A and B are shown apart, each in its own frame.
Chain A
Amino acid sequence: MLKFVKGHMDSISGIEIYPIISLSIFFIFFIVLLVWVFTYSKTKINELSEMPLKED
């Protein structure tokens, strides 16, 4: 399958940087997500998840 990617990529100058950029984007994206959810306190999370049940 790599043969589909390789040929196209070889011809672009400065291509080496792109895999690094994409890895960083994804790595940072998911790390931020994990930080996002795990810095929530347990009580706050529970409170938020009760929201649909609170009314009427």
Chain B
Amino acid sequence: MEMQQFYYDNKIVKKFLYASILFGVVGMLVGLILAILFLFPNLTDGISFLSFGRLRPLHTNAVIFAFVGNAIFAGVYYSMQRLLKTRMYSDLLSNINFWGWQLIIVAAAITLPLGYSTSKEYAELEWPIDIAIALIWVVFGLNMIMTIVKRRERHIYVAIWFYIATFVTVAVLHIFNSLELPVSALKSYSVYAGVQDALVQWWYGHNAVAFFLTTPFLGLMYYFVPKVANRPVYSYRLSIIHFWSLIFIYIWAGPHHLLYSALPDWAQNLGVVFSVMLIAPSWGGMINGLLTLRGVWDKVRTDAVLKFFVVGITGYGMATFEGPMLSLKNVNAIAHFTDWIIAHVHVGALAWNGFMTFGMIYWLIPRMTKTKLYSEKLANFHFWIGTLGIVLYSLPLYVAGFTQASMWKQFNPDGTLVYGNFLETVTQIMPMYWMRAIGGTLYFTGLIVLVFNVIKTVSAGSKVEDELAEAPALAIISAKRQKGEKWHSWLERRPIQFMLLSIVAILIGGIVQIIPTIVIKSNIPTIAAVKPYSPLELQGRDLYIREGCVGCHSQMIRPFRSEVERYGEYSKAGEYVYDHPFLWGSKRTGPDLHREGGKYNDNWHFNHMWDPQSTSPGSIMPGYKWLYDNKAMDHSLIEKKMEAMVTLGVPYTDEDIKNARSNMDAQAAGIEKSLYGDPDFVKSYEESKNNARVRGEEFVPMKDREIVALISYLQRLGKDIKVKETVQNK
């Protein structure tokens, strides 16, 4: 057979690896800043773009899509060329994939701190960036599929199956979760409302974990672990079962993020059942990865790369054991909204994604620069300090989660809450937040050691060059099944058919859950008393979204005695029908706000948002001083926003829209008037008026500033049925 010569594209792998390292440093540094903000909430006081609510999505997006995303591309581009014995289909597409992705990351790093956010977790980016993501993702997919088509190896190795599933599923998830109606260049509203938005979001959120953080890394595991251990995978048969059962079952499990919420019960239970089932394929994969090392465990003692892989895969096993446990309703009732979840995701992120990536980096960099790793000792040091970091990060948060949940639920014999003040449950776990920050620092230190080691290795090694390889051309055979060819061998060499089959496997679960929730009206019983937001409240809601309040405050009171006692009547599906997007939240660093309206007076909110510690000593909420700036809130889009809402089904009349501005003005004036009830406010307000006059500045009345719109929204929250409930109770 005639051998064909060709070059593997190593340069693209190098670029993605460097980008992964760079954004790993950025993303984890932002994470560390956030951990420190728990301890010193006013560290970035008055700087809007460095406030917790805005940095939190930056951290998650940077780590998921920039650090892990670039690592995926690096690993996929490296392994796929070699498994298929060909160069990537198109250098142009590879480079568009690379530069496009980096551009998206930069766009995210600018827009998120500036407050341009859809507020949907891990999908915060606004619509133009969403479109860019879809385009670049298709470029990646096209490059991948075409590479498969022109391969020189008949069989498509199982790692590539995982890459294919990653490509198709992330595309489907991203497109359906990002359906939004633009109102301006950087503002849009989700087309779904309330319960439906929540279901679609967590179908996306859960499966982003599945198909962005898990399946591509499983593919990498199936390539790199055998490669580094120099052993074939433990069981190729198991890997086939692993693949199909994982993608088939994973997609159903999304609703476990919404247990005890207003989501219909049947959907919640479906989520629980599939989450429990998920342990089988997950552990099948973990066992397959670990047992690949059978007979070479002695190597783990000395080889830092294998050490990283072993802890990485073990972390995957722990997180995927914990996942099904957390999906049980009784466990979820404790863990949900607490730091337990933060610990859970960080075991996944730090151990599975982080350590697998580090292992890959330590293995690839010396190979591609044709040299030895600068210091094996430093790599081992990185491993140990990183492992210690993971333990010190997660253990305290488990304790914190459990402690806080128990405190939330504790009753006195007379039926009142023991810790009626939410703040008591926060100050109790402050030592845990300290330890978490220390754990994070250790992990981050390890990463810096990696950077040093990589720089030293690269500078000692030779320039990364494309690698010459040769393989015989693949004989062209009919697309039809050959004589004597088994049907699965046939399927496994037909990439398009294979892709279609995986799309079918992932669509079933999504369709069964989402379509009934959207089309069957009885799933969301309407409540006559629930009215659309007033224009000012709508504006306030957009501020709530901009500042990322949803990162720390839920708007979902679960039907527990402890929650009803603390917050008020539990949340009903029908209350959210005008919420585009939903703002249920997933973590309570502060209390739930769904029945916040009317709980405190306007002055309390005014003082609290300025300096939370003044009204709530010991609070770890930062102040939001820029909302008080002497400038008028931008209301220019209000009519457009209301029209967009009408398109989405919110019953504003033409008159409502026409009178929006006068309506806003009247409501704002009412709030300003009530603020005058506080003599301190009057004093400082008159003072600032005078100051403005002295400086010759134009003075913007309080009612036109952002804070008033936000107060109007907070005061509205949950009031629709609260009124009715009190009447009923009497």
What residues of chain A have their CB less than 8 Å away from a CB belonging to chain B? 1, 4-5, 7-9, 25, 29-30, 33-34, 36-40, 44-46, 48-53, 55-56
Contact = CB atoms under 8 A, between A and B. Distances in A.
Interface residues of B, number: 37
A55 B85 contact: yes
Contacts, number: 76
Contacts of A40: 237, 486, 488
Contact of A37 (B82, B226, B240): B240
A52 B222 CA distance: 9
Contact of B83 (A5, A33, A49, A52): A52
23 contacts: A1-B329, A8-B266, A9-B266, A25-B508, A29-B244, A34-B241, A37-B240, A39-B488, A40-B237, A40-B486, A44-B489, A45-B236, A48-B155, A48-B236, A49-B226, A51-B153, A51-B155, A52-B83, A52-B232, A52-B233, A53-B226, A53-B227, A55-B85
Contacts of A5: 265-266, 269
A37 B241 contact: yes
A45 to B, nearest CB: 5
A1 B269 contact: yes
B469 interface: yes
A46 B488 contact: no
B433 interface: no
Contacts of B222: 52
Q: Which of A29, A46, A55 has the most CB of B within 10 A?
A: A55
B223 interface: yes
B153 A4 contact: no
Contacts of A50: 232
Nearest to A5: B269
A40 to B, nearest CB: 7
A53 B232 contact: yes
A36 B541 CA distance: 53
A55 B266 contact: no
Contact of A51 (B157, B248, B469, B488): B157
Interface of B: 79, 82-83, 85, 153, 155, 157-159, 222-223, 226-227, 230-233, 235-238, 240-241, 244-245, 248, 264-266, 268-269, 329, 469, 486, 488-489, 508
A25 B248 CA distance: 11
Given A40-B486, A56-B82, 20 more contacts: A4-B266, A4-B268, A4-B269, A8-B266, A33-B241, A36-B240, A36-B244, A37-B241, A40-B488, A45-B237, A48-B158, A49-B232, A49-B233, A52-B159, A52-B227, A52-B233, A53-B226, A53-B230, A53-B232, A55-B469
Nearest to B232: A49
Contacts of B269: 1, 4-5
A42 B418 CA distance: 64
Contact of A4 (B157, B231, B265): B265
A37 B237 contact: yes
A9 B227 CA distance: 51
A51 B486 CA distance: 19
Nearest to A25: B508
A3 to B, nearest CB: 9
A48 B329 CA distance: 42
Contacts of B155: 48, 51
A30 B246 CA distance: 12
A12 to B, nearest CB: 10
A46 B232 contact: yes
Contacts of A7: 265
B245 A33 contact: yes
B132 to A, nearest CB: 34
Contact of A52 (B226, B241, B244): B226
B157 A48 contact: yes
A37 B237 CA distance: 5
A5 B269 CA distance: 7
A8 B223 contact: no
Nearest to B224: A52
A33 B488 contact: no
Contacts of A30: 245
Contact of A49 (B227, B236, B264, B266): B236
A48 B235 CA distance: 10
Contacts of A36: 240, 244, 488
B82 A39 contact: no
Contact of B82 (A1, A45, A48, A55): A55
A42 to B, nearest CB: 10
